[in-house]
Structure 1
Amino acid sequence: MSPMRYMGWMTGCSVLTVFVSIIWQTFLTLQTLSRTTVLLTGLLAIESSLKRPADETPPKVAIGYGACTDLQINATEFLNRYYKNYKIPTVTTSARDVVKNEDELLQSFAYYFQNGAAAERVMANGTLFKQLIEFAKVMDKERIHWYMGGNAPLMAMRFFMEGAEVLLGAHMSKKMRPLLPKEIRLAGVEIPDDDIHIILEYMAGDVWGPYVAPRANRYILHNDKNNPHIRAVEEMTNALKLYHPQLLVVSGLQMMDMFSFNPGEREKRLQQVKMQLISQPSDTRNHFEMASYVELKLLQELRQFVLPYVDSLGMNEQELSNLQQVLTHGRTTLATDCNPRIAHTLDQMRQVFIHLLEDYSVESRCDPKRRRVSRLHVHTLAYQAIFTIVDSQWKNTQAAAAKAALTAHRYVCKSQFINPESVLQVLDDSFATSMQENAPRMRISAASPVPCWKEHVQYGRDLERIKVEICVAPVLVCREARKTAGAGDNISASGLAAQL
C-alpha cells in the first residue's frame, strides 16, 4: 500500500470512528433524556394525587424554635480572598468541634469540603466572626445574598406553601418579621438584632487548593446569642394550649451544641422541650428534625429528653449515621459517604428504628408519656427514603417521598419548572433493599417511579414483629446547584405536609 493510500485509509477510519462516537453519544444522551422525562412524569403524577379538596380544612402545624439571618457566599472565593496570605492545609485527618481561630477554620472547612459533607460549627471567637461578616459585606453585592434562616422559619414557610395553617415559635427582630407571610402566627417576642449565620456554599467540582468538592453542599458558621437558649419555648407552650395542632415540629436544637451554659441550664431548657412534647394529645403527632450535631453529651440528652416523645424523625445521610452510631455504640461520627448506597442507608434506618422501638418497649411501662416512633425520613442527594409503620396515622408514604424528591430539585435549582435536560440521574434502574446477601431488589421504572414495599422489623428479646412500609424516591439532581442551605428543612417539611 502506497503512503498516500495508507494515509487516506487512516483518515477515513478516523472520520468513521469520530462519526460512530458522535452517533453513540447522541444515542446515550437521548436515552438518558427519555428515561429522565419518563421518571419526571411519574413523579409529577404521584405528586398530583396530593391535591386537597377546596373545602377541606387545612392541617394545623406548630414549629419551633429560633430564627436567624443567613449570609450566603461562595465558599472558595470568599476564603481565597479573605485568607490570601494563609496556606491552605494539605493534610486534614479530623474536623474541629468548635472553631476558635483562622487555622482551625481552614482545617475544619477543608475536612468537610473534600468529603462533600454538610457541616454546622460554632465559632467561639466572636471578634473573628464579626470580622468575617464585615469582610463579606464589602465584597460585590452580587456575590453575597441575605436570606431569612433557621430551621423553624424555613420549615414554617414550606408548610405554609403546602397549604397548612402555621404557628412558629421564634424570637425575631422587626426587620425579619415582614419576611414571613402575615398568615403565619408568631409565638415569640421582638428582639433588637437577629443572629447571623455565615453560609459558605460550594458546588460540585469546585476547587480549593488541592481539594475538589465531590458534590454541592455548605459549611455553616455561627456565633449565636439568642438561639442556643431557645427562649421561645415558653411563648410556644402558651400558644399551643389554644392552637391544638395536628403536628408539632421541634428543630434548631443543634444551636445548643458546644455552647457555654451555666451548670444544668441546658438540661433545664431541654426539660421544657420535653414538657411541651408530652403535653400534646395523642392525636397530635410530634416530629424532631435532626441537624449537624458534634457534642456527644447533647445527643445523649436528646435521647433522654426528646427522642422518646416524638413519633417521627427527619435527617440527612450524615445525621442518620451520627444517630445510628450514638444509639449503637455511644459515639459520634464526622463526615461519612456523601452519596451512600440505598441498601446501606436502609440498613442504618432499620438499626435506628429497632433501637428506638426497643427503648420504647423497655421504658414505656415506667413512662406512659413515651411515644413509639412510627416514621423515619432520610433525605440524600440522590434519593428520599421514608419508613412508616403500617396502619399508623401517617398516610400517603409514596406520595410524600415523591413530593420530597421534587422539592429537593426545585429548591436547590431555585426553579419551580423542572427541565429534564438540567437533571443528573445518580441512581441506577434498580437497587438492593439491604446489604445482606440475597436481599430483594427493587426496580425504578415508568410503572414504578417510587418503589414501595412492606416488610416486618423484629426487635427486643422476644423478637416482636412490626410491619412497616418503605418507599424510596429518586431525586432528579440539579446539574447546577443554586442553593443548598435550607434544602433539608424544605424537603422534610414537604414530606411531612403530604402525610398529614
Structure 2
Amino acid sequence: MTALRYMGWLTGFSVFTAFVSIIWQAFLSLQALNRTTVLLTGLLAIEGSLKRSAQEPAPKVAIGYGACTDLQINATEFLERYYSRRIPVVTTGSREIVSNEDELLQSFAYYFQNGAAAERVMANSTLFKQLVGYAKVMDKERINWYMGGNAPLMAVRFFMEGAEVLLGAHMSKKLRPLLPKEIRLAGDEIANDDIHLILEYKAGDTWGSYVAPRANRYILHSDRNNPHLRAVEQLTDALKVYHPQLLVVSGLQMMDMFTFNPGEREARLQQVQRQLTSQPADTLNHFEMASYVELQLLQQLRHFVLPYVDSLGMNEQELSNLQQVLSHGRTTLATDWNPRIAHTLDQMRQVFISLLEDYGQRSSSDPRRRRISRIHVHTLAYQAILTTASSKWKNTRAAAAKAALTAHRYVCKSQFINPEAVLQVLDDSFATSTQSDAPRMRIGAASPVPCWREYIEYGRQHQRLEVEICVAPVLVCREARKTAGAGDNISASGLAAQL
C-alpha cells in the first residue's frame, strides 16, 4: 500500500508539474506576442508619419545598371535531386570564380552552413547552361521566374514608394513588361537576358550533415551583358535632362575579371566615376554594395566609386568585408549571420571614419570627391542607419522603421504582418558599442526605434563630426518565402523615406 501511495503521489506531482509547465509556456508565449504586437504598432505608427502631402512633388530617382531573369529554386531539393552522392566533406568559400561542380558544391556548403548570402560567377558557361537545364526539369511548382538585378528591383521599390524613376538597363522584350510602364528606361533592347540561378533555403534546411542556421540564398550567374555596364552612357545622357534628387549605382559585383580584357574593366569604372562626378551638388549619390570576393575589384571601387558617393547600403556580410578592405586591405569570408548590434555599430563607425579620413586627405586635390554622410546596414534582426547631423538626409528614424517593415513584408511575401507569425530576435536593450562603458538603448513601447546622437572623432587633428544613429528591430518571418532581392527592396525603401 505504501508503494502504491508513493506511486500515486509521484504521478500526481508529475501531472501537476506538467500542468504548471504548460501554463508557464503559455504565459511566456503571451508575453512574447504582446511585446511583438507593441513593437509592430510602434513601427507602423512611425511608418505612417512618412505620408507625403498632395502638394509635395514625388522625389526623382535614377538608378543603374543592368537587369536579368532570376530562376529561383529550392536549394536542398535541387541538390538532393542531382548531387545527393557528392556532398563535400571539405568546404571552402574563398573561390572568386566557380569553375566546376566540385567547386560549386564546396562553395555552396560553406555558405549554407554559415547561413550567409553569397553570389558567385560560373566561369564555365557550358556547365551553367547545364545547371539551368537541370532547374527547368524540376516541377513547375518548385521553380519561379522573376525579374532580377539590383537596379530593376530597387527601381520597382522606389516606384512603389511614390518616386519618379529612371532606370539604366538593357532588357529583352520578355522582361520589359515586368517593369512598371511608368519607370523610364535608358538602355537598348537585347535579344536575351542574362539568367541568375537563385538557390534559396530556409532556416533548419539540411543537406547531408549541413544545417542552415537561417534562411538565405546562394546566387550563381554567368552573365555576358551585365558585367560591361553597357547602359552607363545612355543613363549619363538621360541624366542631363532628368536632374534626379538621388542617383543610385548598383550591380557592379557583376564585373568579374575573367569577363574583361586587360584595362577594360578599369575603363568602364572610369565611366561610372564620370557619371557620379557630373552630378550637381544637390543630387545625392548612393552606392549599393553586394557580395564581392575579388580584392582587386574592391580596390578599384575604393578608387573610382566610394570617394564620389554620399551614401552606402549593405548587409552584415558586406559591411564586414568592406571594413576589412578599408582597414587591412583584405577580404573576409562568411561572418556571424546574426551579429550583435554593438559589433555592427562599431564596424559602421570604422567604415565611416576610414572614408572621412580618405576624403580629408584627398579632397583638396580632387574637389569632386564627396564626404560620406549616410550608411545603412540591414541584417536579419535589425536595421541600422547612420547619418551626419548636418546632411540632407531626413527622417532617419522613420527610414529605419520603414526598412524593417519592408524586410518582413518582402521576405514573408505578405503586406499583412501577423504578430503570431514572426520571431522577435532582439532583446529589450542593446549596447551602442562593444566598449565597456558604452551606454545602452532600450527597445519597447516608448521607443520602438531607438535613436541617439554622438560625436565621431577622426583624422590626425582629431576632428569631430556629429551623427545620428537609429536602430529598428525586424519582425523576422517564421517561414521565409523569398530572400533574393530583399536587400535591394530594404535599401530602396529606406532611401525613399529620407528624400
TM bin (shorter chain): over 0.9
| 1:32 correspondence with 2:32 | yes
Q: Deviations over 1:424-481 (max 9, x none)?
A: 0110000000001111000001000000000000000000000000000000000000
Equivalence for 1:50: 50
Partner of 1:200: 199
For 2:351, the equivalent position in structure 1 comes to 352
In structure 1, the partner of 2:145 is 146
TM-score, normalised by the number of residues in structure 1: 0.99
C-alpha deviation, 1:258, in angstroms: 3.8
Q: Equivalents in 1 of 2:256, 2:367: separation in Å?
A: 29
Partner of 2:282: 283
Q: Aligned partner of 2:53: which letter?
A: P
* Alpha-carbon offset, residue 94 of structure 1: 4.3
Q: Is the 8 A contact 1:457 1:466 kept in 2?
A: yes
Q: Tell me the distance in 1 between the aligned counterparts of 2:285 and 2:119.
A: 24
Aligned-pair CA distance for 1:368: 0.3
Q: How far off its partner does 1:93 sit?
A: 4.7
Instruction: Tell me, in whole angstroms, the C-alpha distance in 2 between the residues paired with 1:368 and 1:131.
Output: 50
In the alignment, is the contact (CA less than 8 A) between 2:69 and 2:145 conserved in 1?
yes
In structure 2, the gaps of 5 or more residues are: none
Describe the shift of the 1:34–1:248 C-alpha distance in structure 2 as closer, same or farther (beyond 3 A): same
Offset, 1:97 = 1.6
Partners of 2:430 and 2:414 lie apart in 1 by: 29
Partner of 1:319: 318
Q: Secondary structure at the match of 1:194?
A: coil
* 2:273 equivalent in structure 1: 274
Cα distance in structure 1, aligned partners of 2:257 and 2:332? 15
Partner of 2:362: 363
Aligned-pair distance for 1:91? 2.4
Distance in 2, Cα, partners of 1:52 & 1:260: 45
How far the C-alpha of 1:256 sits from its partner, in A, is 0.3
Question: How far apart, in 1, do the equivalents of 2:10 and 2:89 lie?
Answer: 47
Per-residue deviation, 1:334: 1.1
RMSD: 0.7
Between the aligned partners of 1:397 and 1:496, the Cα distance in structure 2 is 9
Residue pair 1:33, 1:421 contacting (<8 A) in 2 also? yes
**Contact 1:95-1:111 within 8 A present in 2 as well:** no
How many angstroms does 1:260 deviate by? 2.6
User: Which digits, 9 at most, give the CA deviation of each residue in 1:345-391, with x for residues without a partner?
Assistant: 00000000000000000100000000000000000000000000002
SS in 2 for 1:293: coil
**Residue 415, structure 1, aligned to residue 410, structure 2:** no
Q: How far apart, CA to CA, are the structure 1 residues paired with 2:61 and 2:308?
A: 17
**Structure-2 residue corresponding to 1:123:** 122
Q: Residues 229-244 of structure 1 correspond to what in structure 2 (within 5 A)?
A: 229-244=228-243
Question: Which residues in structure 2 correspond to 1:100-139 (within 5 Å)?
Answer: 100-139=99-138
Shift of 1:96: 2.1
Q: Kindly tell me the number of residue pairs found equivalent between the two proteins.
A: 499
Q: Per the alignment, in what secondary structure is the counterpart of residue 384 of structure 2? A: strand
Give 2:244's aligned residue.
245
8 Å CA contact 2:93–2:108 kept in 1: the answer is: no
The CA distance in 2 between the partners of 1:258 and 1:414, in whole Å, is 35
For residues 265 and 102 of structure 1, the distance between their equivalents in structure 2, rounded to whole angstroms, comes to 29
Displacement of 1:20 in angstroms is 0.1
Q: Which residue in the other structure is 1:436 paired with?
A: 435
Report the 3-state secondary structure (helix = DSSP H, G, I; strand = E; otherwise coil) of the residue aligned with 1:259: helix
Determine helix, strand or coil for the equivalent of 2:241: helix
Q: How does 1:149-228 map to 2 (within 5 A)?
A: 149-228=148-227
Q: Deviations over 1:146-166 (max 9, x none)?
A: 000000000000000000000
CA contact (8 A) 1:257 1:294 kept: no
Any unmatched runs of 5+ in structure 1? none
SS in 1 for 2:258: coil
- Alignment-derived partner of residue 89 in structure 1: 88
Same amino acid, percent of matched pairs: 82
For residues 344 and 386 of structure 1, the distance between their equivalents in structure 2, rounded to whole angstroms, comes to 14
SS in 2 for 1:37: helix
**Correspondence 1:488 to 2:484:** no
* Aligned-partner Cα distance in 1 for 2:356–2:188: 38
Corresponding residue SS for 1:482: coil
Q: 1:258 to 1:13 in 2, by over 3 A?
A: farther
Q: Which amino acid aligns with 2:22?
A: I
Runs of 4+ in 1 over 3 A off after TM superposition: none
- Looking at structure 2, the residues matched to 43 and 441 of structure 1 have their Cα atoms a distance apart, in angstroms, of 20
Do the aligned partners of 2:93 and 2:111 also contact (CA within 8 Å) in 1?
Answer: no
Q: Give 1:54 shift.
A: 1.4
Match of 2:13 in 1: 13
Given that residues 228 and 259 in structure 1 are in contact (C-alpha distance below 8 angstroms), is that contact kept between their aligned partners in structure 2?
no
C-alpha separation in 1, matches of 2:89 and 2:2: 56
